């Protein structure tokens, strides 16, 4: 009983601390320590002590996913620095028109994330345009985060074939491919996209009907006027990532994503080199972002390593696996 309370309490505390902005390098080990103490896991003594178990999970995740995070961060940062992400976004807006601000922002995010651009980079790339579109359409700005999140972290994040790590991490454990059950995935993605868009529009229309409108802020981003590459130079690297991951998965398995992202980075640099603002700075920022992202994720994975070593977790797994279906 104490083990179960410690597990649930540690998880709840981790969520609360994360929401409050506590650094995950502090929050995750602290919460994991609470779980360990309530489950009689020794802190320092023995082979299966807290420090050893936590660091096995932490280091194991970095060893498995470092190159994916690094190449993904570089790919996304390069898309941003050379203007390819902006070019794709502008092209979508030009085709749909500013009157369709919501769907334009969603599609811009969806195409970039499904092509392998990190959702963090997508948010930074599309946000200035989203502010401009919502301003022209006089829509409440408080819905911009919802529209950005819907377009980048929902139906494209886990759809079959997506090069995002959320779609690739389970492959190692389930023995499947990134295109597994694509028929079901297509149906689910279409449902998520249509229902989510309808729900966003419903909330925004209700807010407009109540008199809400766009509110200007002093720190609103300004879209810098610069010569952008042709939109096709932003689409081609995305296609390279998708095609390589599809062709090489059977032979390289999880390593196919490294080759796919690496190929996307090389193609992106080759066709857009003259549009880069500062490629060296882009490399520095991208690698730093990759280290922070994988470090934060690994910190939580370390918490999971402690959690799965508890009696309460094993009991929960046994109960779940006995459920029919």
- Six-digit token string for 180: 């597994």
Q: Which long-range contacts (CB under 8 A, 24 or more apart) does 313-322 make?
A: 313/7, 315/4
Mean pLDDT of 271-291: 89
Helix-then-strand count for the chain, H and E: 13, 0
What is the pLDDT, as a whole number, of residue 325? 67
- Dump pLDDT digits (tens) for 85-126: 778 877 877 787 767 888 888 888 888 788 777 676 677 667
Percent of the chain with pLDDT strictly greater than 70: 96
Question: DSSP string covering 110-179, please?
Answer: HHHHHTT--HHHHHHHHHHHHHHHHHHHT--GGGHHHHHHHHHHTTTTSSTT--SHHHHHHHHHHT--TT
SS3 (DSSP) at 229? coil
- Six-digit token string for 139: 């829509």
Question: Residue 109: which of 78, 76, 64, 73 has the closest Cα?
Answer: 76
Neighbours of 273 (CB within 10 A): 11
pTM of the model: 0.74
Yes or no: say if 160 and 180 are a contact pair by the CB < 8 Å rule: yes
What is the pLDDT, as a whole number, of residue 29? 93
- Six-digit token string for 306: 């402690």
């Amino acid at each position: 009983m104490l083990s179960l309370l410690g597990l649930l309490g540690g998880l709840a505390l981790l969520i609360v601390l994360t929401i409050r902005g506590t650094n995950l390098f502090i929050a995750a080990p602290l919460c994991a320590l609470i779980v360990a103490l309530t489950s009689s896991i020794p802190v320092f003594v023995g082979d299966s002590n807290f420090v050893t178990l936590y660091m096995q999970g932490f280091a194991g995740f970095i060893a498995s996913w470092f190159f994916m995070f690094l190449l993904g961060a570089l790919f996304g940062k390069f898309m941003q620095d050379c203007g390819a992400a902006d070019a794709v976004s502008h092209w979508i807006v030009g085709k749909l028109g500013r009157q369709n601000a919501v769907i334009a922002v969603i599609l811009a995010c969806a195409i970039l994330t499904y092509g392998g651009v990190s959702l963090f980079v997508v948010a930074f790339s599309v946000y200035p345009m989203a502010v401009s579109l919502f301003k022209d359409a006089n829509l409440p700005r408080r819905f911009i985060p919802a529209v950005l999140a819907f377009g980048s972290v929902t139906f494209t994040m886990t759809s079959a074939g997506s090069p995002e790590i959320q779609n690739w991490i389970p492959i190692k454990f389930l023995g499947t491919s990134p295109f597994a059950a694509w028929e079901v995935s297509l149906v689910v993605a279409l449902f998520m996209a249509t229902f989510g868009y309808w729900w966003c529009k419903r909330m925004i229309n209700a807010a407009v009907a109540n008199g809400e409108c766009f509110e200007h802020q002093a720190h609103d981003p300004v879209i810098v006027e610069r010569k952008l590459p042709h939109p096709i130079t932003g689409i081609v690297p995305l296609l390279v990532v998708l095609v390589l991951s599809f062709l090489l998965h059977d032979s390289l398995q999880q390593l196919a994503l490294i080759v796919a992202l690496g190929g996307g980075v090389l193609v992106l640099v080759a066709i857009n080199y003259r549009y880069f603002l500062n490629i060296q700075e882009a490399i520095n920022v991208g690698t730093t972002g990759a280290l922070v992202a994988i470090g934060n994720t690994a910190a939580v994975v370390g918490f999971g390593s402690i959690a799965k070593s508890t009696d309460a977790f094993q009991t929960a797994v046994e109960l779940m696996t006995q459920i029919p279906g």
